[in-house]
Structure 1
Amino acid sequence: MTTMTQPRVLTFRRSIRVARVAIVAFLVLNLAAVQVMFAAAGPAGDLFGTIGRLLGLYLALAMAFQLLLVARLPMVDRAYGMDRLTSWHRWTGMAIFWLAAAHPAFVLLGFARQDGVPVLDVAVTLAKQPPVLLGMIAAGLLLVIVALSIRVARRRLSYETWHAIHFLLYVVVLLGVLHQVYEGTAFKVNVLTQAYWWGLWAFAIGALLAGRLVVPLIRNSRHRLRVAAIVAESDDTVSVHVTGRDLDRLPARAGQFFLWRFPGQNRWWQVNPFSLSAAPNSRSLRLTAKGVGATSAGLRDLPIGSKVYAEGPYGAFTAAHRTRGATVLIAGGIGVTPIRALLEDPDLTGHVVVLYRVRAVEDAVLLGELRNLADVRRARLHLLTGRTGTGYQPFAPERLLALVPDITARDVYVCGPDAMTTSVLASLRRLRVPSRQVHAERFRLAG
């Protein structure tokens, strides 16, 4: 990997600003287009029906936006990072759920008031029509997805199971499109509205197929990734070295992650987002994982030479997003993997301080490599051990300031358990570290 020159860094930052402006403009224009279509269609039979029609338009628009988030478009990923996009994915999903509940409710109320019959009777009558029934089934599946995505339920599911359940989203989209074909009225006002509406959906579905199917298939066919070596880092942590063809053409950067599948060893839906634990080069890639799920626990048993299917790279947790000359890298547990890769990255210039949080020294995976890299680049490495309690808060504001007195003048990269990351981010806010200097990776993946 070649080091990014200052002009290249400036060009990258300008491209991010342009991308963000384009994304915001896309959202605003589509919201405006929906309002124009709604106005052109005119009111429905009564107020409730009119509100139901408007909510239906916003529901369909939100579903199209959700497809674009799940597509993981490179431009959007580079501009905002997968962690922020996943947060938007969650909020968009909740909006879709409430719109899916409110849209039919207002439509039913509208028909009930017009015909002077009970709402339940209207629901039974409409359910006998296949297009309406498809919409009801889609709403029911949405209820299942949202219910299983609530934090309490999510914690009881393995990542692989939760990821597989999210495939129901595609079924919901299919049913929703069929429902629009037969029941949509507001976008059928004229040829222009129909061209816009189906153009938007064609773009969303095309982006999804390209980003999640076509591009990964082409890349994996080109690079032909294979397991080159398995190295046990501790009793429950293993590194997998992956080799392949023309890896210099793979646009991966230190700090990014891939979705990894191992055909023949795991089922096709068993996939995990593992960060690169070393800066990528033209010869190999390396991932390091702790055995907590079905996929990660089986990594140490992978045969040498077995096939690897990787989707990505993803994430904006890279040196290209720095805004200052010096950096703080904060890692917790297995979250050290992208931090270790960043420490090796020649693009991460300037002075670096590394804070590595573990309960005990024996839990510090890749500690030897961190120490060697810190010595080479004259970085400061602090290993923070011990149990967090009332008397010991390793990432309290005053503690961070004692370890890194000039932390407000540095970029801060944070990766670790969710509780630790939340604590660090809260302390950085109290220390008034500008948000543009804070970069976090939580591995809350969309779709």
Structure 2
Amino acid sequence: MAVETQSPTGTTRQTPIVDRRVLVADRRVLVPSWWRDAVGLTIWANLLIVTALWVSGGGLQALSTPAGAFTTLGRLTGLIASVLLLIQVLLMARLPVVERVYGQDELARRHRLVGFWSFSLMLVHLVLITIGYALSARLNVFVQFWELVVDYPGMLLATAGTVLVVVVAMSSIRAARRKLRYESWHLIHLYAYLGVGLALPHQLWTGQEFLSNAWATIYWWGLWIAALVAIVGWRLAVPLYRSLRHDLRVAGVRRESADVISVLISGRDLDRLPVAAGQFFHWRFLGRPSWTRAHPYSLSAAPNGRDLRITVKDLGDGSHELAGVTPGSRVLIEGPYGRLHGGVRTSRKVLLMGAGIGITPLRALLEELPQAPGDVTFIYRAGSDDELVLAGEIEQLAASRGARVFFVVGHRRRERNSWLPSSAGTLSDADGLRRLVPDIAEHDVYLCGADAWMDAAAKAARECGVPADRIHSERFSW
């Protein structure tokens, strides 16, 4: 039996291959289906618990008067805002169960959604509480607000925390994010943790539902302590331990093209690092000006227990500096993260579909995925032959593993968003996929590239009959 690969120049060659046993899913990173339900159930259970605490504290009875209604609804919105704020923090605390269920890109989207509601309810809480207290004391609402801030325990800190959360929320609006560098946005976003911390004393010192009974106090303190432990443990302690335990250092730097480099990282006992092809780490290269800010880069080669490799395009300050990193430099990591791995595979057949530098995790998957001849198809989309990074490696891997490779080269269509190049003419996105992969409906589809390109490719795959839960993607937009 032989495999045929198509090169960037259009030539083909046939290479003998050997059949091998196919495993559908990678057991190292397999995610049980019930995990997602368990995470969702835990979130809703906490929302129900705080609502029950509000009811048990006389929340419903207080609705009988205007002042009581404003005050008690203010307490309810404050409670829900507090829980959502904790959920928002925990979603990005790098908890393994949560991260493996959703993946970093979906977590980021949910983080923004939960943050929007938490922020909105927090403002509603402030307004309702102020009006309720003003009606009770028969004061002007502005005078009442000033007294709340100045006289109530912890309110000055809570006000400062609210201002910080407002700044973070404003920077998270899409229009604002587009005007900020990733490094600047990330630094501003860290103030959210400080804002949460400043709000804590007010809630635990004066909140009726926090102090109404011993169980309520234990519950709320338990939530905050759990959040703190999760952040310190999974954002600080575990990454530092892994970095030092494996003694990660730069082993070499290789230029792949004018604006793309590969960095090889060596280390100790890397076979014990729980990482699979397709995943990524947040990297810090000590000795570089931007080492304080971690940058997400996927592995561009399957982990082999001896070294790790990333391939990076010059797209920002951090990636630009990598060209000058020196061998021997120490490397710190956070991760591994991401769901673009063999553990989410559900079908024997797989389509790996990438554009630009997005092919790096797919190249690693091509190397690692168990497969029989013809099981895996690789589509590499690029603007020109010069942009086909790692094309030689991909051809060699495909030839040895029995995969098919298609290099789809050409400038993008300008008349509409499409995964195809302009040379495809009037061919629809779905028809383009069917021509390359006639039985695509039987495949799992892995996507990585620019957001708009992945949206077009995912839409085409769905039109070809691929269920949404068999389309796996990784997005690094922020």
What is the TM-score with the length of structure 1 in the denominator? Answer: 0.94
Contact map agreement 1:342 1:348 (CA 8 A) in 2? no
Equivalent residue number for residue 436 of structure 1: 469
* Residues 274, 12 of structure 1: alpha-carbon distance in 2 compared, 3 angstrom cutoff: closer
Q: Partner of 2:263: helix, strand, or coil?
A: strand
Higher relative contact order (CA 8 A, sep 6+): 2
Equivalent residue number for residue 72 of structure 1: 94
Q: For this pair of structures, how many residues does the alignment match?
A: 442
Contact map agreement 1:319 1:348 (CA 8 A) in 2? no
CA distance in 2: counterparts of 1:12 and 1:160, whole angstroms: 30
Matches within 5 A, 1:1-150: 6=23, 13=30, 16-43=32-59, 44=62, 45-129=67-151, 131-150=154-173
1:357 aligns with 2:381: yes
CA distance in 2: counterparts of 1:165 and 1:391, whole angstroms: 35
CA distance in 2: counterparts of 1:178 and 1:133, whole angstroms: 10
CA distance in 2: counterparts of 1:121 and 1:134, whole angstroms: 19
Cα deviation 1:385-431 (Å, max 9, x = unaligned): 22222389444122112221111110000000111011112222333
CA distance in 2: counterparts of 1:66 and 1:217, whole angstroms: 23
Structure 1 counterpart of 2:361, from 338, 357, 375: 338
CA distance in 2: counterparts of 1:7 and 1:413, whole angstroms: 14
Equivalent residue number for residue 299 of structure 1: 322
Structure 1 alignment gaps of length 5 or more = none
Q: Partner of 1:102: helix, strand, or coil?
A: helix
Q: Which piece of structure 1 moves more, 53-62 or 429-438? A: 429-438
Identity, % of aligned pairs?
A: 40
CA distance in 2: counterparts of 1:127 and 1:356, whole angstroms: 58
Letter aligned with residue 421 of structure 1: M
Contact map agreement 1:332 1:358 (CA 8 A) in 2? yes
CA distance in 1: counterparts of 2:232 and 2:306, whole angstroms: 29
RMSD value over aligned CA atoms? 2.0
Contact map agreement 1:355 1:382 (CA 8 A) in 2? yes
Q: Partner of 2:197: helix, strand, or coil?
A: helix
CA distance in 2: counterparts of 1:348 and 1:105, whole angstroms: 60
CA distance in 1: counterparts of 2:226 and 2:245, whole angstroms: 26
Matches within 5 A, 1:22-421: 22-43=38-59, 44=62, 45-129=67-151, 131-347=154-370, 351-389=375-413, 390=415, 393-395=418-420, 396-421=429-454
Letter aligned with residue 315 of structure 2: V
Contact map agreement 1:112 1:118 (CA 8 A) in 2? yes
CA distance in 1: counterparts of 2:54 and 2:168, whole angstroms: 29
Cα deviation 1:206-246 (Å, max 9, x = unaligned): 11111001111111111010000000011111100000101
CA distance in 2: counterparts of 1:156 and 1:169, whole angstroms: 20
Letter aligned with residue 368 of structure 1: G
* Residues 348, 201 of structure 1: alpha-carbon distance in 2 compared, 3 angstrom cutoff: farther
| Offset of residue 21 of structure 1 | 3.0
* Residues 34, 374 of structure 1: alpha-carbon distance in 2 compared, 3 angstrom cutoff: same
| Offset of residue 103 of structure 1 | 0.9
* Residues 18, 133 of structure 1: alpha-carbon distance in 2 compared, 3 angstrom cutoff: same
Q: Partner of 1:233: helix, strand, or coil?
A: strand
CA distance in 2: counterparts of 1:346 and 1:356, whole angstroms: 17
* Residues 226, 338 of structure 1: alpha-carbon distance in 2 compared, 3 angstrom cutoff: same
Contact map agreement 2:204 2:210 (CA 8 A) in 1? no
CA distance in 1: counterparts of 2:326 and 2:26, whole angstroms: 40
| Offset of residue 62 of structure 1 | 0.7
Contact map agreement 2:301 2:367 (CA 8 A) in 1? yes
* Residues 381, 270 of structure 1: alpha-carbon distance in 2 compared, 3 angstrom cutoff: same
Higher Rg: 2
Q: Which piece of structure 1 moves more, 49-58 or 435-444? A: 435-444
CA distance in 2: counterparts of 1:9 and 1:172, whole angstroms: 40
Structure 2 alignment gaps of length 5 or more = 1-19, 421-428
CA distance in 2: counterparts of 1:100 and 1:126, whole angstroms: 15
Letter aligned with residue 411 of structure 2: R
Letter aligned with residue 170 of structure 1: Y
Letter aligned with residue 143 of structure 2: D
Letter aligned with residue 108 of structure 2: T
CA distance in 2: counterparts of 1:124 and 1:391, whole angstroms: 54
| Offset of residue 185 of structure 1 | 1.2
Letter aligned with residue 51 of structure 2: Q
| Offset of residue 267 of structure 1 | 3.8
Q: Partner of 1:46: helix, strand, or coil?
A: helix
Contact map agreement 1:353 1:381 (CA 8 A) in 2? yes
Cα deviation 1:171-211 (Å, max 9, x = unaligned): 01111212212221112111111111111211111111110
Contact map agreement 1:327 1:351 (CA 8 A) in 2? yes
CA distance in 2: counterparts of 1:205 and 1:53, whole angstroms: 24
Contact map agreement 2:417 2:453 (CA 8 A) in 1? no
Contact map agreement 1:164 1:269 (CA 8 A) in 2? no
Contact map agreement 1:16 1:78 (CA 8 A) in 2? no
| Offset of residue 35 of structure 1 | 1.4
Runs of 4+ deviating beyond 4 Å: 3-13
Contact map agreement 1:159 1:272 (CA 8 A) in 2? no
